[in-house]
Amino acid sequence: MRILLVEDETRLAEALEQILKHAGYIVDLADDGAIGLDMAETGIYDVIILDRMLPNMEGVDILKRLRKAQIKTPVIFLTAKDTIPNRVEGLDAGADDYLIKPFSKDELLARLRALVRRPELQADNELRIGALYLDSSSCMAAIGDEKIKLSLTEAQLLELLMRNKGRVLTKELILDKIWGFGKDVEISNVELYIFYLRKKVPLEKAGLAIHTVRGIGYSLKEA
Ligand code: CA
């Protein structure tokens, strides 16, 4: 799960980043509205937490631009002003939820869980496809009784493949989702980590395989 946090108050942004990372999310931070919009437009995020008052572009304007561009990433709007017009404005612009500052850590995490709740999700970070199980928060995979300890990157990659089972993921998308937008990482890293994952996790025992789609990317499918 990758979250974009657009918040210009440094202390609050850093505190939120720590809370979210501790809860097992991958977090990218933007402290400026225009930069936040650029990052959000990549479409690589699972949730965007968007402050209302930002330098260079306000939260509501970012949200309107995203929705106009058909980017439907769930957005939680942060607002300091507890007034009805402000809330309505945020929701009208396409926000999925809003939080009024100051809010508690538990409230933020609960709202996030509600937004990203999906049927295959048993707990926050647990996924299962047949005999294949992954707990991404502890980087522990299992096939039946056989437990496999993964590195953080391997666990994130397996989570991405499991959540998109049957879909072809391009190497570029994997790179952006795992290593982050604009980071100085080569596409060969994706190939390397797919190699590690295939070697470490005996997917065939769960009737699964990571298929290579030549020149494009990878797909987790029934073997
Ligand atoms: Ca602000």
Please name the residues in contact with 214: beta carbons below 8 A apart, sequence gap of 6 or more: none
pLDDT at 183: 65
Cβ 205 vs Cβ 144: under 8 Å: yes
**61 alpha carbon – ligand 1 mean position (Å):** 14
Evaluate whether 184 touches 169 at the Cβ level (below 8 Å): no
77/59 Cα distance (integer angstroms): 8
- Ion ligand 1: residue ranges with CB closer than 5 A: 8, 51, 53
User: Counting Cβ atoms within 10 Å, is residue 164 exposed (0-12), middle (13-18) or buried (19+)?
Assistant: middle
* Residue keyed to tokens 């009208």: 92
Helix residue ranges, H only, the chain: 10-22, 33-40, 59-68, 84-92, 105-116, 152-163, 171-179, 188-200
- Band of residue 124 on the pLDDT scale cut at 50, 70, 90: low
Residue 123 has pLDDT above 60, yes or no: no
Read off the pLDDT band of 197 (50, 70, 90).
Answer: very high
Tell me: cis bond preceding 85? Omega within 30 of 0 counts. no
pLDDT score at 223:
87
Give the distance (Å) from ligand 1 centre to CA of residue 151. Answer: 35
Determine the pLDDT at residue 40.
94
Task: Provide the pLDDT for residue 154.
Answer: 95
d(CA 10, CA 16): 10
pLDDT confidence of residue 176: 85
pLDDT score recorded for residue 117: 65
Q: CB burial class (10 A; 0-12, 13-18, 19+) of residue 134? A: buried
Q: How far is the CA of 143 from the centre of ligand 1 (A)?
A: 46
- Amino acid 82: pLDDT: 64
| Secondary structure class of 4 (helix, strand, coil) | strand
| 26-30, 45-49, 120-124, 205-209: least confident range | 120-124
pLDDT tens-place string over residues 146-186: 999 999 899 999 999 998 899 999 998 899 888 876 667 88
User: Domains of the chain: which residue ranges?
Assistant: 2-121, 126-222
Q: What fold characterizes domain 2-121?
A: Rossmann fold (3.40.50)
Rounded to the nearest angstrom, the distance between the alpha carbon of 189 and the centre of ligand 1 is: 36
8 A C-beta contact, residue 44 and residue 136: no
Residue 215 burial class via C-beta count within 10 angstroms: exposed 0-12, middle 13-18, buried 19 and up:
exposed
Please give the model's pTM, rounded to 2 decimal places: 0.61
Separation of CA 51 and ligand 1 centre (Å): 6
The string of pLDDT tens digits covering residues 39-75 is 999 888 989 999 999 999 999 999 999 999 888 889 9
- The pLDDT value given to residue 120: 40
Ligand 1 mean position to 79 CA, how many Å? Answer: 8
pLDDT for 69-117, tens place per residue?
888 889 999 987 666 677 777 788 888 888 888 889 999 998 888 887 6
Percent of the chain's residues with pLDDT above 70: 93
CATH code: domain 126-222 is 1.10.10.10
Checking if the pLDDT of 121 tops 60, the result is no
CB count in 10 Å sphere of residue 21: 12
Query: 7: CA distance to ligand 1 center in Å?
Result: 6
Question: How many whole angstroms from 33 Cα to the centroid of ligand 1?
Answer: 9
Helices (H), 117-211: 152-163, 171-179, 188-200
Q: What pLDDT score does 182 carry?
A: 63
